[in-house]
Chain A
Amino acid sequence: MAKPKVAFYWCASCGGCEEAVVDLAEDLLKVVDAVDIVLWPVALDFKRKDVEAMKDGAIAVSFINGAVRTEEQEEMVKLLRKKSGLVVAFGSCAHIGGIPGLANFWDRETIFERVYKDVPSVRNPEGIYPQQKTKVDGVELTLPEFYDTVYTLDQVINVDYYLPGCAPPPDLIMNAVTAILEGKLPDKGSVLAPDKSLCDTCPRKDSKPEKLSIKAIRRPHEVIADPEKCFLEEGIICLGPATRSGCGERCINANMPCRGCFGPTKGVRDQGAKMVSAIASILGVEDEDKVTEEEVESLVKQIDDPAGLFYMYSLPASMLRRKRMG
């Protein structure tokens, strides 16, 4: 029997998701043995026309990492969709937009202005910006178009499965690959990680009182966090309540709060809104009937940059998708 054809592809990615595959170490050799890798731009030579020449559906599964933010990426993922039986969004960026998705607080113009004109090290008196087309020596040089908005993969093409994480941990990657090879996949549209919240599996959950009430919000550098206590109990915002488990509580183990890279659990459509809800249900609960409107305001005021914090990884996947400009 022919080995299943597998493709890896990256869009607006940092390369960390590729490193995650390399980190499979010996397991990678097993994978390479069991499948036929037809496309992996970082590792193998390929051309778009090779993919175009394939029959539709010829690729058993395409793993795509990185968000989509240029026209070329959009074309390429559409092509891969056509040629693939399954498409897996690999990593936070493809899944929910990821950190680069924070760019959705701005648009191309404001980003260019900062990067190419306003930063203090740039000397650019003529106000030159990179152009999609430039004539040099009478010949044209081209650059791909940079979109105003960062998109998640499933906003551009249909996605069958999601592998969460920035970057996805090796055990989840291996589980996914095994499930695919053995044909033991869950329902389409599933996230290939446990459908539990991080708080459910967190080693600190036992210290999280049933009825938590906090008054003071503290930023991580303002206190020495007790390595046994739930961060929320200490007033440090942790995205655990709005985040899916499966990462092995990596940040918590380094004594740092979660920032939500795994995205939300199944029932939650908007990770940030879920976090608003989670914080609101513990902030200033004590004697809540005696708290005035003004006091509510000042409790809430303590939270700096809620949009950036609650949507740190998921702004493009949020119901609003981006900041409304102008």
Chain B
Amino acid sequence: MARRITIDPITRLEGHGKIEIFLDDKGDVSKAYFQVPELRGFEKFSEGRMAEEMARITPKICGVCPTAHHMASGKALDDLYKVEPPPAAKKIRELINSAFMAEDHTLHFFFLGGPDFIVGPQAPAADRNILGVIQKVGLDAAKQVIGIRKKLRNVITKQGGRVIHPVCNLPGGVSKGVTKEDRQEYIQTGRDAVEFAKFTLKAFEDIVLKNKEYVDVIVGDIYKHETYYMGLVDKSNKVNFYDGDIRVVDPEGKEFVKFKAQEYLDHIEERVEPWSYIKFPYLKAVGWKGFVDGKDSGVYRVAPLARLNVSDGMATPLAQAEYEKMYDVLGGKPAHNTLAYHWARLIELLYAAERLLELAQDEEILDPDVRNIPTAIPDEGIGVVEAPRGTLYHHYKTDEKGIITEVNLIVATLNNSAAMCMSIERAAKALIKGGKVSDGLLNMVEMAFRAYDPCLACATHSLPGQMPLEVNIRNPEGDVTKTLRRE
């Protein structure tokens, strides 16, 4: 008797993400589908636009990570015009990006994914939200969260014009330098952010790491996938969000390949499935073997844990210490535990804060020379950055006037699309046996899903950190026989 379970994050009507689980004749899970019912078609409608406008158009792909698109676009435009931004411009971009990474990771940890841990994976759903977090860490801490996000977002507003959809990047640099007064403010923000990140890691340690039950969940089998990992690294293979080469490690942690942004097409391919508007990228050299783990499957993962897995460490001292500690506890590199994404995210928060401070303190950031005017005839450009949710590729071709003729985008969350399906399936398999659906299913599936912080699903933009879920269990005729609902 084949049954179908639908988990629809919002309603059947709306929906930027939907989960379908299929049961086999024995009532065990045969397959899980993570569907994305949304498409906007930036790859097409960017054609005909002036290339430099791409930095203003593409952020609208996602209002949660517009800064990452703005950066990837800026770099693709530099490459398009073969123009190198002046040193100060690069630093300003990285400063903005660091502030963004820090505020976005904060948002995720406290408002979205973190409640699973801070409040506890077994806690009643009604408490697993920001209010529950406040109870656990105290109101002062909650105020700190709001306060630091405001300061960090202010850095983006000042340099980028708007925090939601910044506008400062142009081929060859940025439109605006840093003033002395603003720099003082940024230094203070950097300091505050470092303190805040330390505080957050401490809270994570006290609440999560000191609790054996939580640690067991993290290292347990349900949330584990042996996949390839991908992320940007600097020259000494340290994590870098803004610049570097793309490094891929295999499930044993050995370097599989390291390539330049411009070579991405040699290494990544995407698969189309008729049941989702999202595409599924995989490593070309390994090939698509379906939604499965292991060395023979081209599925790879991106975002915080992946970035740490592909790197040899962090470029800043405090983050490096935390990096070492994490791998100690998890038993070495690479860590395959999906829930460790939360931990990795906090280590990145600390790195972003430290990096923000470093850049703000750098005298050169005050240099008014922030743009080089391009002189080359444009043709093709590729730009890559690390967005909070993974490696982000922008690829443009233009005519000789710099009018877009072709665009290709591989958006951060997309890289994880196959792995997300797998994680959901794994959790479902563990919890649905012989047709019996455990009430814990919602919890577990939700957690598997949220660890990736997928920004395409509205559910993860959720303010109280609660993904509304409904699971419909259907008999072969498609009638609903049982409904599980998270109130």
Contacts and interface: CB of A to CB of B under 8 A. Distances in A.
Contacts of A295: none
B44 interface: yes
Given A106-B41, A114-B43, A48 B13 contact: yes
The number of chain B residues touching the other chain, given as a range, is 35 or more
Interface string A187-206: 00000000000000000000
A9 B10 CA distance: 11
A16 B167 contact: no
A153 B438 CA distance: 42
B40 A100 contact: yes
A130 B281 contact: no
B336 interface: no
B2 A139 contact: yes
Interface string A92-123: 00000011101101100011001110011111
Given A115-B44, A121-B269, A122-B272, A41 B168 contact: no
Interface in A1-49: 9-10, 12-20, 22-23, 25-26, 40-48
Interface residues of A, number: 85
B482 interface: no
B410 A105 contact: no
Nearest to B264: A121
Residue among B81, B271, B288 having the largest count of chain A Cβ atoms under 10 Å: B271
A254 B155 CA distance: 12
A42 B64 CA distance: 13
A136 to B, nearest CB: 6
A76 B14 contact: yes
Contacts of A129: 272, 274
Contact of B171 (A139, A144, A221): A221
Interface stretch (B54-62, B185-193, B347-355): B54-62
A19 to B, nearest CB: 5
A171 to B, nearest CB: 13
A254 B169 CA distance: 10
B468 A13 contact: no
Contacts of B11: 41, 46-48
B56 A259 contact: yes
B458 A14 contact: no
B22 to A, nearest CB: 5
A116 B279 contact: yes
B473 to A, nearest CB: 13
B455 interface: yes
Interface string A215-246: 00001111111010000000000000000000
B20 interface: yes
Given A100-B40, A114-B43, A305 B48 contact: yes
B161 A136 contact: no
Given A16-B64, A19-B63, A144-B15, A308 B48 contact: yes
A252 B402 CA distance: 23
A178 interface: no
B463 A22 contact: yes
A88 interface: no
Interface in B239-286: 264-265, 268-277, 279, 281
B35 A16 contact: no
Contacts of B30: 137
A320 interface: no
A102 B171 CA distance: 22
B425 to A, nearest CB: 13
Contacts of A254: 159-162, 166-168, 175-176
Nearest to A17: B63
A259 B60 CA distance: 13
B458 A119 contact: no
B435 interface: no
Contacts of B82: none
B96 to A, nearest CB: 11
A255 interface: yes
A123 B38 CA distance: 20
A217 to B, nearest CB: 11
Contacts of A43: 462-464
Contact of A130 (B12, B14, B31, B277): B277
Contacts of A131: 274-275
Nearest to A103: B45
A47 B483 CA distance: 13
A278 interface: no
B486 interface: yes
Contacts of A225: 175
A286 interface: no
A111 B164 contact: no
Given A42-B462, A144-B37, A221-B171, A139 B176 contact: no
Contacts of B77: 221
A220 B264 CA distance: 29
B146 A20 contact: no
A137 B45 contact: no
Nearest to A227: B176
Contacts of B487: 45
Contacts of A98: 60
Given A15-B455, A116-B272, A305 B49 contact: yes
A167 interface: yes
Given A44-B464, A103-B40, A308-B53, A121 B268 contact: yes
Contact of B276 (A41, A46, A143): A143
A102 B39 contact: no
A256 B59 CA distance: 16
B14 A222 contact: no
Given A22-B463, A128-B273, A134-B274, A121 B281 contact: yes
A39 to B, nearest CB: 10
A116 B49 CA distance: 21
Contacts of A251: 161-162, 167
Given A105-B48, A121-B408, A45 B272 contact: no
Contact of A103 (B44, B66, B288, B407): B44
B276 A42 contact: no
A304 interface: yes
B265 to A, nearest CB: 5
A326 interface: no
B371 A224 contact: yes
A298 interface: no
Contact of B272 (A9, A128, A141): A128
B223 interface: no
B163 A23 contact: yes
B270 A122 contact: yes
Task: In the A-B complex, list the 9 residue pairs whose CB atoms are closest, starting with the nearest.
Answer: A16-B63, A254-B161, A45-B468, A111-B41, A43-B463, A14-B63, A99-B60, A15-B63, A114-B44
16 contacts: A9-B14, A12-B40, A13-B63, A23-B163, A43-B462, A116-B279, A119-B43, A122-B269, A122-B270, A138-B2, A139-B478, A143-B277, A221-B170, A221-B172, A251-B162, A255-B168
Given A40-B463, A251-B162, 9 more contacts: A10-B458, A19-B164, A19-B461, A100-B60, A121-B265, A122-B272, A131-B274, A220-B175, A225-B175
Interface of A: 9-10, 12-20, 22-23, 25-26, 40-48, 69-70, 72-73, 75-76, 98-100, 102-103, 105-106, 110-111, 114-116, 119-124, 128-131, 134, 136-141, 143-144, 146, 166-167, 219-225, 227, 250-256, 259, 304-305, 308-309, 312
